[in-house]
Amino acid sequence: MGFLKFIMFGFLLIIFLLGIFIIGIDLGKTDYGEIKVYSNSTECQNLSLDDTAYCLRDYVRTFYRYEVRNDNEKPLEDLMENGGDCYDWSMLYIKLFKELGFKADYFQRNGITDNKTRIAPAHRWMVAWDGKRRCEIDHLEVKSCRNI
């Protein structure tokens, strides 16, 4: 009889999880224009700028995948499923840092071409600051956190 209860519980759990997935229950989504951002719940809140940078990097690492894409803002679900490039990850980090009360923007290096030959590609990365310190994140690397 215990095995039957175990099977019934598993079946009900699967039905419940499918219901959440199909119905799309709001699990803490915050809307920022066209990009939907899921707060990393309380894990990255109320931390110093440095600790927030590492916390958000660890959060993004759970679904990060590099894929060259068009430069337009994408919902988090799209990034999780299809990946993104430096533009996409920078924009996501900016939204996450702003959601947590920090200022954030991006740096951009234009590519170099010589007679239509690509010497160096363009690149974008994110910087967040709190008035005293700044941190830069490039994909999954916290490049630097230092005083302003």
- Summarised one tens digit per residue, pLDDT across range 102-123 is 999 998 888 888 888 877 788 8
Phi-psi region of 22 (alpha: psi -120 to 50; beta: other; left: phi over 0): alpha
Average pLDDT in the 40-50 region?
Answer: 81
Distance CA 94, CA 119 (A): 28
pTM for this prediction = 0.69
| Contact by Cβ (8 Å): 95, 32 | yes
Tell me which of 100 and 40 has the higher pLDDT.
100
Q: What are phi and psi of 110, to 5 degrees?
A: -75, 145
Provide the pLDDT confidence category of residue 42 given band limits of 50, 70 and 90: low
Q: From 17, 124, 132, select the one nearest 73 (Cα to Cα).
A: 124
Distance CA 39, CA 139 (A): 18
**SS3 at position 86:** helix
**SS3 at position 40:** coil
Mind listing the pLDDT tens digit for each residue in 69-106? Answer: 988 889 989 999 999 999 999 999 999 999 999 999 99
